[in-house]
Amino acid sequence: ANVTLFLFSFFLGTGSSILSALQDLFWLSKSKVEKQLQIISVLQWVLTFLIMGVACTLILMYILCTDCWAIAALYLAWLVFDWNTPKKGGRRSQWVRNWAIWRYFRDYFPIRLVKTHNLLTTRNYIFGYHPHGIMGLGAFCNFSTEATGVGQKFPGIRPYLATLAGNFRMPILRDYLMSGGICPVNRDSIDYILSKNGSGNAIIIVVGGAAESLNCTPGKNSVTLKNRKGFVKLALRHGADLVPVYSFGENEVYKQVIFEEGSWGRWVQKKFQKHIGFAPCIFHGRGLFSSNTWGLLPYSKPITTVVGEPITIPKIDNPSQKEVDFYHSIYVDSLIKLFDKYKSKFGLPETEVLEVN
C-alpha cells in the first residue's frame, strides 16, 4: 500500500504527501528523501530527452509482432487521425504541467523565473530564449511546467515552447510533449498559434538551436544570433511582440568536449545538424550516486531565467530585408542590455561580456 501511495504521490500529489510516503516506506530523513526525489525527477526527464522517442518506437514495433498487436494497431490508427494536432496548438494539460515531479525537478538546481515587465493579454509574443545549453533545462522547466509559476507571473499568457518537429513523429513522446504545451518549431505551427488561436500566446523559440549547443560550456556566455533572423520575420508577419530571455546558469550544468572548427569532430556534428536537425554533443554531468563521478545527471547549479521587456512589433505581411534587419538589431541590443543589467545579480562579474555570434 505504501509503495502505491509513493508512486501516485510522486507524479500527482503534493510535496508533503510524497515525503510522507517515502519516509513511511524507507524510514529516511526528510532532507535525504527530498534530495533523492529531486535526482529521480531530473533523471526521468534526461532519459525522456535522450531515449524516450526511440524506445517507444521500438516497443510499439515489438508489440505489433506479439499477441497484443491490436493495442499497437489501435494506437497507430489514432496517430494517423491525430497527426496534425501538434501543428494546431497541440493538446496541453494543466494537470500534467502541475505534476509534483516538476517541483522536485525545479528544486534540484534550483531553477527560478524572473519577471521584469507585464505582458498584455491582447498581444501575442515570440520569446527568444538564450542560451540553448545542452538540453534547454531552464526553458523546459519555466515554460512547459508550472513549477516556477509562469501562469501566476504572466496571467492570461499561454506559453508554447517550440522544439524540433521530428520529436512529434515519435509515438507516445509526441503526446507527452504536447501535454506540457510544447509545439513544433516550424512555420505551420507558429503561424497557426499566432493567427488562429486568439491573443495572449507566447511562443518560446530557442534561437541558437543546435549550432549554439555545440559551443556551450561552463563559464562561457555566448549566443548564436547574428544570422538568426527568421523569428524576427515571423514576428513582423503576425505583429507579435519580441521578448528577449536570458537564462543565467544554463551553460553551467553540463561539461562538453568542444571540437575546434575544421576538426573531424566538428565536421560530423555539422553534418548531423544539417541533415537531421540536431548536433550530437559529447558531454557529461555527475553520476547518479555521487557528484564526484561522471554521468548523465546535470550538475546542481542554479539556473535563473530572466524575461525581458517586450519590443513592440508592427504587423507587416511581407516585411523587407531592411525591416527585418532593423528589428533584429533592436532585439540584439535589448538582449545585451538585459544581460548587462542582471549579470552581477546572478554571479557574473561586471566585466563579463555577452558574446554574440
How many other CB atoms are found less than 10 A from the CB of residue 159?
23
**How high is the pLDDT of residue 3?**
47
Contact 25, 2 (CB under 8 A): yes
141 grid coordinates: 522547466
Range of the domain at 103: 31-347
Question: Is residue 313 included in any domain, yes or no?
Answer: yes
Count of C-beta atoms within a 10 Å radius of residue 5: 17
- Written as one letter, the residue type at 167 is N
Q: For residues 298 and 293, what is the distance between their CA atoms, to the nearest angstrom?
A: 12
C-alpha cell at 89: 496548438
Per-residue pLDDT tens over the stretch 105-136: 999 999 999 999 999 999 999 999 999 999 99
Number of domains in the chain: 1
| 18 belongs to a structural domain | no
Report if residue 322 sits inside a domain.
yes
Q: pTM surpassing 0.85?
A: yes
Q: Look at residue 356 and tell me if it is in a domain.
A: no
d(CA 216, CA 134): 7
Asked whether residue 15 is assigned to any structural domain, the reply reads: no
Rounded CA-CA distance 32/42 in Å is 16
Nearest residue to 252 via CA among 231, 206, 221? 221
> Is 206 in a helix, a strand, or coil?
strand
Sheet containing 255-256: order of strands: 255-256, 283-286, 294-295
What is the distance between the alpha carbons of residues 305 and 142, in angstroms, rounded to a whole number? 8
Residues of the chain with pLDDT under 70: 1-29, 275-278
Task: Single out the residue of 12, 163, 178 nearest to residue 85, CA to CA.
Answer: 178
- The answer as to whether 6 is a domain residue is no
**H helical segments located in the chain:** 2-12, 15-26, 30-47, 53-64, 69-81, 94-97, 100-108, 137-143, 150-153, 173-179, 187-196, 209-213, 230-238, 264-275, 321-342
Residue 330 CB partners (closer than 8 Å, separation 6+):
311
Task: Tell me what pLDDT residue 268 has.
Answer: 82
Decide if 110 is inside a domain: yes
74 within some domain: yes
